[in-house]
Chains A and B, each alone.
Chain A
Amino acid sequence: MREVELVIIGGGPAGVCAAIEAAKCGVQILLLDENPKLGGQIYRRLPDSLSITDQRQLGKDYSQGTQLLAELEQYSDKFELLRDVLVWGIFPYKELAFLHDGKTEVLKAQRLILAEGAYDRPVPFSGWTLPGVLTAGAALRMVKAEKVLPGERILLAGTGPLQLALGAHLVEAGAKVVAILEASSLSGFWKQLPHFWGQWGVLKDGMDYLLKLRKARVPLLRGYAIVEAKGEEQVEQATYAKVDRNWQAIPSTEKRAEVDTIITGYGLVPSTRLSRLCGCRQKWDPYRGGWIPACDEHMETTIPGVFAVGDCTGIEGAIVAKEEGRLAALKVCQQFGLITPEEASRRYSAIFKKLRGLRRFEAALNNIFAIRRGLLGQIIDDVIICRCEEVTAGEIRKVINEGFINISEIKVLTRAGMGPCQGRMCEPIIANMISMETKQSMEEVGFYSPRPPIKPVSFGCAAEGDSG
């Protein structure tokens, strides 16, 4: 079996920075990415065939991505890159199986850096499975990287500053944004203000978005959330309502809007399928998105030689992700004896210092916009929770009431989480439902244990490959 010194999984900001640092020290690197181009979700590249005459339309993230990928390109002879790769299994002793070009390859990594990223938090409500209900990530990708409008009359519902960015992009692209619903009342904002001090770039971006939205007369409603989507074949109408401090809808405050699209942006959930497969201990951190692998200060997980970096270790954004990627790579270099402990600790302390300020800012944001559970309190029994296996809230509540209080038991009994998404969508919802109904902590409720293949692969593809 082929053996590689360092395998990095994920080519977003964290993975790319890890590759750059490791390449500088001469580690043998294999970088694996799922997409046809590096950059991850935040730095997603335009296809070569698409060109934008006004570069400002692309935004700051795009140019930061361009810069970072150009930096990586300088070391292109020092690492191996495979794109369009699906890592479908990690086995003991850091052996991985991945699909590339229709074939499975198996190899052994001496060190592993996981940069799995994150995905949009699924938030269920009546009608959320209708075509025309999209996540903010999907909408942002369509309008920014594909230059296609996800709809014509759009309602945004969610929380956090990403909604303002998305709203501004949609308006600029010519869509009618009917309203932006912010679930938070923002009452904690002033208390957190000191933590925003110094983050001028981010604050200025926020102001720019607000001005664009005001100019387009887009109402920004604080303390409102989406409660229902209606339509035959697709979204035709949205119902939203005022919510209390716990984000539970207040009766008889409902309003209706004729829309063809509802975009939900309730923050992100860290992707932890690979770190779970590795057996890394997971810890519950609601302010950083949920379950995340426990890491030491150099981003090494509880499995020696396995590191996790970026949003998959807690939602903190691209700038933090980059620094975490560098930290992990430096630690790997130190472990291989390629940099001296003195040099390493000098580099670490510079990064730690940067991270302290950045993390304070991210924590302040997460404090205001962290998801509140009242949002799930309003789910009526016939709402689908597991989108793959079509399991409703009622079916899940029924088994909870029968006394089954562990998420794995409920998976076996209802099939929720057994479909092709492997529970990525329903796990955060069901875990919260169990915890609310049974008064258990999220740690007691637990999480699904993924098994390979973690994404659907055909039997033929899984079987074909190097078994030696």
Chain B
Amino acid sequence: MKNGRVQKGVSRGKPFAIEVDGEKILAYEGETIAASLLAAGKRTCRQTKLTKEPRGIYCGMGVCMGCAMIVNGRPNTLVCQTMATPNCKVQTQIGIGNWETPK
């Protein structure tokens, strides 16, 4: 798997897996979901509601709302502002997104 992390001179915390659209990818403690996604080469966060175009991380500071995804069932979660946690479930958001029905 692609790993876009800087390795030289950097020591990271605990590694764990997060689930992105059903696929497991590597994440580290203290990392935002946005960073885990970029490191794995996954760049599309959502599909727009009208033209279904892909969108990804743009401003990286919680302003543009471009990186809204469904995280643990909650839509419109900005992954650039949300920490990765072990086994968290991340899904590409289609349009304005839906709440996942709690089981």
Which A residues form the contact surface with B (CB < 8 A)? 34, 36, 41, 46-54, 57, 119-120, 122, 129-135, 137-139, 141-143, 146-152, 173-174, 233-234, 387-388, 390, 419-421, 424-425, 455-456
Contacts and interface: CB of A to CB of B under 8 A. Distances in A.
Contact of B59 (A137, A147, A149, A150): A137
A52 B9 contact: yes
A54 B81 CA distance: 27
B1 interface: no
Determine chain A's interface SS by DSSP, over half rule: loop
B35 A424 contact: no
A233 B64 CA distance: 19
Nearest to B39: A148
B24 interface: no
Interface of B: 4-6, 8-14, 28-32, 34-35, 38-39, 43-45, 48-51, 53-66, 68, 76, 80, 83
B12 A49 contact: yes
Contacts, number: 137
B68 to A, nearest CB: 7
A147 B6 contact: yes
A143 B35 CA distance: 10
A234 B44 contact: yes
Contact of B57 (A138, A233, A419, A425): A138
Contacts of A51: 10-11
- Most chain B CB within 10 A, of A132, A138, A387, A419, is at A138
Nearest to A149: B4
Given A50-B12, A52-B10, A149-B4, A134 B29 contact: no
B6 A143 contact: yes
Contacts of B76: 420, 456
B56 A234 contact: yes
A387 B79 CA distance: 17
- Most chain A CB within 10 A, of B13, B34, B57, is at B57
A241 to B, nearest CB: 22
